[in-house]
Amino acid sequence: MAQSILGSSAVYKPEFPRSSAATSTISGSKLKFWEIEQTQLGFLSSCKINLPLRLKASREGLGLVQESKETKPNLISKSNDSFSEMRNRFLSFKKDKYLENLECYQELAQAQAPKFLVISCADSRVCPSYILGFQPGEAFVVRNVANLVPPFENGPCETNAALEFSVNDLQVENILVTGHSCCGGIRALMSMDDDDKNSSFIKNWVKVGKAAKSTTKANASNLSFDQQCKHCEKESINNSLLNLLTYPWLESRVAEGLLSLHGGYYDFVDCTYEKWTLDYQKNSQRQESVGYAIKNREFWS
C-alpha cells in the first residue's frame, strides 16, 4: 500500500474547519473537500458480542465512575511521601467508586467488552481516560512515545500486539489514534538528521513517523520549527491511520464495516480537541495516488 498522507496540517487555513459542512483529503500538499457525514464514534452503540456478561458490563459501564467534584487536580507533591498520597487516592477510589459500584466491577472482572482501542502518547499530560472521560471497561488503551503505529511489515512490538488482541479477540468497533500539542517524541523526530545512525531507543522508535516528517518538510518549510512540529504532530496521526490499514486482518474488518478508524488531536495549551474519521469507502473507490479521504471532522472547544 502506498504511504499517502491524510490531511491535517497547520499550513492550511482554516487548519481544521469548525464548520460541519466539509471534509478534506490530502496527498502530499493537495487539499480537496468532501461532504461531511454524521459523526458515528459509537459511544452509545450496542455491543455486538453475544455474551451476557459483556453485554451487561457494556450497558452499565458508562455509570461505573461518578464525575469528580474537584475543581483543581490534586497533584502528587514532589516529596519522598508520594506513595502515601497514592495510597490515599486508592483507598478513596475503593470506598467511593469501587464499593459503590461493586456489582459492575465484579462483572468487569469476568469479561471486558470495550468499544474503543485508544492509541495515545505516553506523555504524562495527556491521559486519554481523564481527558475523554472513558470509564472502566470502555476503552482498551495502549500508550507509546508519540502515539505511533508502525506498519505491518515492521514486525512485532507491543503496539501491534495490542492491535491484534483488541481487534481480533475483543472485537473493538473503533480505533482512535490521538496525538497532542508540544509532543516531545515528534520534536525528536523533526530534529533527527535523515542519515542519523544513532542507536538511541527513542530515535529508532520515532523514525516510524518519517513519512509524516517528509510531508511536513515539503509542505511547511516556510514555517518556524515549532510550527513545523505542530504540523507533524497532526500529520503523524494520519500516517498512523494509514499504517493501520497495512494489517490484513484489521483492514478486512474496516472493509466489512465492523471497525472504524479515527484521528484525534488534543491541544492542552488552550484545551481543544479535534476529531476526524478515515473514510474507507471513498478511499476504496479512488486511486491510491490521489490520496485518502476523511470525514466527520469536528472541533471541540
Q: Is the pLDDT of residue 86 over 80?
A: yes
Query: What pLDDT score was predicted for residue 54?
Result: 44
Q: Would residue 162 count as lying in a domain?
A: yes
Nearest to residue 221, comparing CAs of 17, 29, 32?
29
Domain end call among 96, 111, 126: 111
Q: Are residues 57 and 89 in the same domain?
A: yes
Annotation-wise, does 123 bind a ligand? yes
Round to whole Å and give the CA distance between 28 and 289.
10
State how far the Cα of 169 lies from the Cα of 269, in Å rounded to an integer.
37
Q: Measured between alpha carbons, how far is 223 from 101 in angstroms, rounded to an integer?
A: 51
200: containing domain: 23-49+113-300
| 9 within a domain of the structure (yes/no) | no
Are 99 and 143 within one domain?
Answer: no
Label residue 21 by pLDDT band (50, 70, 90).
very low
> How many domains, the chain?
2
182 is in an annotated binding site: no
Within-domain flag for 10? no
For 242-296, write each residue's pLDDT tens digit. Answer: 999 999 999 999 999 999 999 999 999 999 999 999 988 766 665 454 456 889 9
Q: What's the rounded Cα separation, in Å, for the pair 73 and 113?
A: 29
Residue 43 sits in a domain whose CATH number is 3.40.1050.10
pLDDT score for 79: 61
Reported pTM:
0.75
Predicted confidence (pLDDT) per residue in 190-243, tens digit = 999 877 777 789 999 999 999 999 999 999 999 999 999 999 999 999 999 999
Helix, strand, or coil (residue 179):
strand
In a domain, residue 8? The reply is no
Do 215 and 106 belong to one domain? no
Answer whether residue 1 shows pLDDT above 80: no
Check whether residue 106 and residue 202 sit in a common domain: no
In a domain, 3, yes or no: no
For residue 118, is it within any domain? Answer: yes
Contact 232, 240 (CB under 8 A): no
- Is residue 121 annotated as involved in ligand binding? yes
Residue positions counted in the chain: 301
Q: Give the model confidence (pLDDT) of 22-33 as tens digits.
A: 333 333 333 332
Provide the pLDDT for residue 36: 31
For residues 186 and 293, membership in a common domain is answered with yes
